[in-house]
Amino acid sequence: MTTLPPLSLYVHVPWCVRKCPYCDFNSHGVGHDRTLPERAYVDALLDDLEAELALARGRELVSIFIGGGTPSLLSGAAYQRLLQAIEARLPFASDIEITLEANPGAVEHDRFAAYREAGINRLSLGVQSFQSRQLERLGRIHGGDEAAQALRNARAAGFDNINLDLMHGLPEQGVEDALADIDRALALAPEHISWYQLTLEPNTEFYSQPPRLPDEDVLCDIQEAGHARLEAAGYQRYEISAYTRPDRQARHNLNYWTFGDYLGIGAGAHGKLSAWQPDGSLAIERRWKVRQPEAYLRRAQDPRGFVAGRRALETADLPLEFLMNALRLTEGVPRHYWRERSGQPDTLLDARLEEAQAKGLLRDSSQRLQASPHGLLFLNDLLALCDEQ
């Protein structure tokens, strides 16, 4: 029996000013003027966490990620209360990473200092684009200059670890427009850039009324040129859509990708927890919470609690569950992570890898599980091969 994987905490804040047409997250537009039930929601989050403590078994938290929705709609005082109460229930690692997602158009700039004082030490700014025409198409409520000013204000408030979210493959976008967004981001010198392609997800406005997106040849040109521009500026690609300065990887996301554990609290939040059983086997469960904010708040008084569903991972599920995370990383993961974090022998995984290795989609290594450069380009094909029974 080995130690359990690292433990993180995801906190979901489900409200935003306006639902973006591409967004399939559990987010609910409330407009600019609606007052949110801030105190009641923090109370519910803490009740939710209290009910999960037995699953954590006193393990320390290596990271916290507060996502949404638009978490920057809540005040610094709310996060100070929340984080202090979390730390009173679960020990924090000495170098814990605590990230808050913020929309440049939905945060009063003087709030950055309050967030930093509350203990948040990493910001993720949802910029998406700096171009007014694209921001309007994407339903964003900020402008490019406002996004740049938000980062400068965050720096002034003491944040030295900032991610910028950027999209590419936007409606009618060409290579030069995509590179212009990257150049504006680089001029702001964030520690981390998430650069990902717009996709049309079911149950979104864009899915039912698709915009005109670049064709495959243009998308390939954008990806090649953008990758070169980011690496030339000193940003290392360490995940399919993530670039970082040295030693500034998103540690919370790394825990996901390396099959770590995480508690999930908040409306619609998901969690994954591992526990060693008396017979020496490892049980892994995924669980998720009630999605609708109003229903989530009502569950605080409900003996059923906040959990909407749970699913034990079957042995046959584990290879794909593990690989669809680990192979997103450009360097992959050490092979021993499979044994330690799935509780299963190498033979179960190796049987899924033979064809992918034969086709050159995986690097041939006895020490690491790692996609080849070709495998990273065709990750869905690689995972489909690994899923074959």
pLDDT in tens, the chain (389 residues): 468 999 999 999 999 988 898 888 889 988 766 789 999 999 999 999 999 999 998 899 999 999 999 999 999 999 999 999 999 999 999 999 999 999 887 666 679 999 999 999 999 999 999 999 998 898 888 888 889 999 999 999 999 999 999 999 999 999 999 999 999 999 999 999 999 999 999 988 998 899 999 999 999 999 999 999 999 999 999 999 999 999 999 999 999 999 999 999 999 999 999 999 999 899 999 999 999 999 999 998 887 899 999 999 999 999 999 999 999 999 999 999 999 999 999 999 988 898 888 899 999 888 999 999 999 989 999 999 887 65
Q: Is the distance from CB of 102 to CB of 126 less than 8 angstroms? A: yes
What pTM did the predictor assign?
0.96
pLDDT value for 339: 94
Q: How far apart are CA 337 and CA 241, in angstroms?
A: 22
Q: Where in the chain is the domain with CATH 1.10.10?
A: 314-388
Domain with CATH 3.20.20.70 in the chain: 7-254
Please state, in angstroms and as integers, the Cα–Cα distance from residue 67 to each residue in 57, 203, 250, 275, 298, following that order. Answer: 24, 20, 14, 26, 21
CATH topology of domain 314-388: Arc Repressor Mutant, subunit A (1.10.10)
> What values do phi and psi take at 98, rounded to 5?
-125, 110
CB neighbours of residue 207 within 10 Å: 14
Q: Do residues 153 and 182 touch, judged by C-beta distance below 8 A?
A: no
At 104 the pLDDT is: 87
Distance, CA of 51 to CA of 57 (rounded, Å): 12
In this predicted structure, what is the pLDDT of residue 365?
A: 84
Domain 7-254's class? alpha beta
Omega into 226 within 30° of 0, i.e. cis?
Answer: no
